[in-house]
Amino acid sequence: MFGQQISDHLTYLQPLTITAISSRILFYDRLQAAVKLAHQLRLKRGISRSAKMHEENLTDVWWGQVLINICRQVEKWGWFPVDWATVDELFYRSRLCSLCSARQKEQRLAESKLALFLNYIPLLLMGFDDETIKTVPPLDLMRGFLSCEHHPFQISSSTRDLARVHCLLREEGWGDQERTWAWVRLENIEHDPLRYPESLRWLPLLARWSVGYSGNLLLDRSPLPEEGEPFSCMDTVLIRIIEGQDGESHWFSWDEVDAARAAYQEVRRVQAALKRVMDWHEQEPNRLAKLAAFLARGEAHHELDW
């Protein structure tokens, strides 16, 4: 019995491996970064440093939990929405793998990707792909008319009035020149908004949102694809965060939190405008034909009274 205790004690005193030391240092580096970020955001919010976490309690805290608390807090403050699908998947995958020694490599991978959000804000992106935009018929219609990569005849709608508009467009033809004139009509609204009803003044920005060129990161970038497990898409997250989709970063760092908040405030205004359009459309779905007539010919803009 006594010999076994001595053996256990000697095993405990054995020097740590380089890998174990590096892992522990990395853990505390991330914990320090998470706590520092929490303090910085509290100060920006106007909360005194007296409310900070006591250092003596940090030995029992995992840095990932601190990050989760940060994300919950910024949403509670109304700063911007968080991409919980990505954050939660990485969080729970890293915790699950930590329970199995055979999955240490997978755990390290999940934690390294989660740790990116100690530097970059995990913003919820609100752009549309070809499938999700079908759930928003007015934007689907605008994308069909205005995007070079789409065509108005591809719009997913079963309304008879809109079908008649399609027949008319098919007879007249719809090409680059017609698309250019549609954009000119929208630009005229922006250049002289007082000439148009208040309801139309958000239409140009809604149109740019539909084709992914609003100039707002949250509106122009679509969430990760939902095919397969979310975790299988995390390599895409790495590329999009570090390099961006066209070689430049399109993600806000936590140092740019004010810019992220400003972007979300614009999103809220655009979403309110879209809700008005959706309510107008749902009251009478055939009203989309009126929107189509305006985009195609500039007709009856006074009837777009959402």
In this predicted model, what pLDDT tens digit does every residue of 122-132 receive, in sequence order?
Answer: 988 888 888 88
Q: What is the pLDDT of residues 186-215, one digit of tens each?
A: 999 999 988 888 888 999 999 999 988 888
Distance CA 136, CA 129 (A): 11
The residue with greater pLDDT, 21 or 234, is 21
**How much is the pLDDT for 306?**
86
* Helix axes 234-242 and 84-97, enclosed angle (nearest 10): 120
Q: Are 207 and 143 in contact, with CB atoms under 8 Å apart? A: no
Q: 86 in the Ramachandran plot: left (φ > 0), alpha (ψ -120 to 50) or beta?
A: alpha
Distance CA 91, CA 114 (A): 7
When pLDDT is averaged across residues 286-290 and rounded to a whole number, the result is: 82
Q: 269 in the Ramachandran plot: left (φ > 0), alpha (ψ -120 to 50) or beta?
A: alpha
Please name the residues in contact with 117: beta carbons below 8 A apart, sequence gap of 6 or more. Answer: 67, 71, 87
**Which residue is associated with the tokens 């949250």?**
218
Domain boundaries, the chain: 2-118, 132-225+253-303
**Which residue is associated with the tokens 């405990």?**
12
pTM confidence score: 0.74
* pLDDT band at residue 33 under the 50/70/90 scheme: very high
Distance CA 114, CA 90 (A): 6
Residue 265 clears pLDDT 60, i.e. is over it? yes
Q: What is the pLDDT of residues 151-162, one digit of tens each?
A: 665 666 555 555
> Can you list the pairs that 294-299 forms with residues at least 24 positions away whose Cβ atoms lie under 8 Å?
294/185, 295/141, 295/142, 295/145, 295/146, 295/182, 295/185, 296/145, 296/152, 296/165, 296/168, 296/169, 296/174, 296/178, 296/182, 298/181, 298/185
Cα diameter, the chain: 96
